[in-house]
Structures are given as structure tokens and as C-alpha cells.
Amino acid sequence: MGLGEGTGEGMDGERWWGIVHDARAAVGARADDRDAADDRDAADDPLVEAVTERLARLSPEDIVAFDVRYVAITDSAYRRPLWNAAYLIEGGCGDDGFMDFRAGLMLQGRAAFERAVADPDSLADLPVVRRMGIEGRGWLGCEGFSYAARDAYRRARGEAGTFDAAMEAALKRTARPARPEGDDWDVEDEAETLRRLPRLAALFSGAES
């Protein structure tokens, strides 16, 4: 069996989230250290590195399987209501920004991620989001997490070409959403956004203190 075959095996949701939670536990309070001015990829941010270290200990097949599962999880959050919440929180959010936003949200752990997908207004409970709204500092998005598996694979194997080939083969067999799901609205319509995301709208209008 080639590296790109059967890569979903051995990396179910429980194991995937367990790696994230283990990394969060390892870095302790620093897991929510989001004080960079415009991204959580600051040089002294330890969480992505903690995940990468754990992935580098796995077999090449499991590292690929982790990234396949990563794609499935981020696709599950490809929803308009969440995207509009990201737009409100970040003061604008394009395609790349929403990919980074979902990556950072996954690093918050399974419970926070699943709550936010089901109810984007629950993002108002996250300390980093409250800090962004009240103090104007910190960041939730994390581009670096999207490269963690590839970086780990390169560390383990000394090359990433076979990783890229395996991912390409796996994703060709995967049905992915062509467009975001869920109701859309003009997030700059303050009355409608207040109706749909009342807590976030209050937080980012300066109504909370």
C-alpha cells in the first residue's frame, strides 16, 4: 500500500482532537497567549510548535491522516454565519483570513470549536475574542497551524514531496464544499447583525465594558 492510500485510518476525531488538547495542556496558560498585534503566529507563541512536535513523532501515514482530518474539520466550519462572525471580530475577513480564523478556532479545542460552528455568537465567551473587543489586542486566526502537519512530516522524513503527493491523492477522493453553507446577511447592517450575533455585536460596538 502506498503512502497516499488509506490515510484516513488511525486518525479519527477523538485522536485528532486529543493531539490538539495534549499540546494545549503542555503549554499551559500560554495556549491562549494571543497578544500579537495582528496574528497569533508570533515567534514566542508555543502552541503550533507543540502540535508540530507531537505530529513529528507519528508515522508518515498518520501525519498525512492528521492533515486529511484537518481539512475535513475546517470544511465543517465553512459556514456563512461563522464567516460573518469572523468578519465582525476581525474588522473584515476574506477567503484567506477565514481559513486562518478556522485554524485558530480549532486550536481553541473541540468544545469551543463545535460550539462556535453551531452558534457563532458563542465566540463572545472566548478570552481572546473578549480581549480583541474590549482591549483591541490579541488575535484568533492562525495561519501557521495549516502548515503543522507538513512541517512535522519534513522533520520526520527529511522531505515533504511524498507528503504533498499523498495529500493530493487523498483530497481527490474527498468531497469538499464548493461554497459556504448557512444563511448569509450583510454583516455591515448593524441592526441585522445585532439580531443574529447579539453578544458579538455588542462586544465589537464598544457596548460592553
Instruction: Express each pLDDT in 151-190 by its tens digit.
Output: 999 999 999 999 999 999 999 998 999 999 999 999 999 9
Read off the pTM. Answer: 0.89
Helix, strand, coil % in the chain, rounded to nearest 5: 65, 0, 35
Contacts of 200 (CB under 8 A, 6+ apart): 85, 88, 89, 120, 121, 123, 124, 129, 133
Rounded distance between C-alpha atoms, residue 94 and residue 98, angstroms: 6
Tell me: the pLDDT tens digits for 64-98? 999 999 999 999 999 999 999 999 999 999 999 99
| Residue 2: per-residue pLDDT | 36
Surface-to-core class of residue 63, CB atoms within 10 Å of its CB (0-12 exposed, 13-18 middle, 19+ buried): buried
| Residue 205: per-residue pLDDT | 81
